[in-house]
């Protein structure tokens, strides 16, 4: 029987992601520049998703954090990001209603945090 918990680890850069995966994390969460609250982390770019998927493989879930307040002026850029990550992350961690609506629109799972 599969356990009912998930060990979720933050990843602000590739060394921390590799360490989390090697330590047995079930999932990692990370942000992209501009749209997450971990501004002090190096963060990732959309082009890093290929390497992230190589590191995590199929066993480790990947959650993208978009956990900031979004403004109407950012919606077009945000929607581009959400379209690009579809199928490359397991879910988006968010709380802003505009992000939730974009996730629903593009059928991307999300977790409210």
Half-sphere exposure of 63 (CA within 13 A, CB side): 22
What is the predicted pLDDT for the residue at 68? 86
Rounded Cα distance, 9 and 30, in Å: 9
Q: What is the pTM of this model?
A: 0.90
> How confident is the model over 5-16, as pLDDT tens digits?
899 999 989 999
What is the predicted pLDDT for the residue at 2? 66
The whole-number average pLDDT for the span 83-98 is 96
What is the predicted pLDDT for the residue at 40? 62
> How confident is the model over 39-75, as pLDDT tens digits?
666 779 999 999 999 999 999 999 999 988 889 999 9
Mean of pLDDT over the chain: 91
Question: Exposed, middle or buried, 8 (CB in 10 Å: 0-12/13-18/19+)?
Answer: middle
């Amino acid at each position: 029987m599969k356990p009912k918990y998930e060990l979720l680890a933050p990843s602000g850069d590739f060394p921390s992601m590799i360490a989390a995966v090697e330590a047995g994390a079930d999932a990692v969460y990370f942000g992209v520049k501009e749209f997450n609250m971990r501004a002090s982390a190096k963060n990732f770019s959309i082009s890093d998703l290929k390497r992230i998927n190589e590191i995590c493989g199929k066993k480790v879930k990947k959650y993208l954090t978009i956990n900031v307040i979004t403004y109407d002026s950012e919606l077009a850029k945000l929607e581009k990001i959400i379209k690009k990550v579809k199928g490359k992350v397991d879910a988006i961690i968010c709380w802003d209603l505009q992000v939730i609506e974009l996730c629903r629109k593009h059928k991307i799972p999300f977790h409210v945090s």
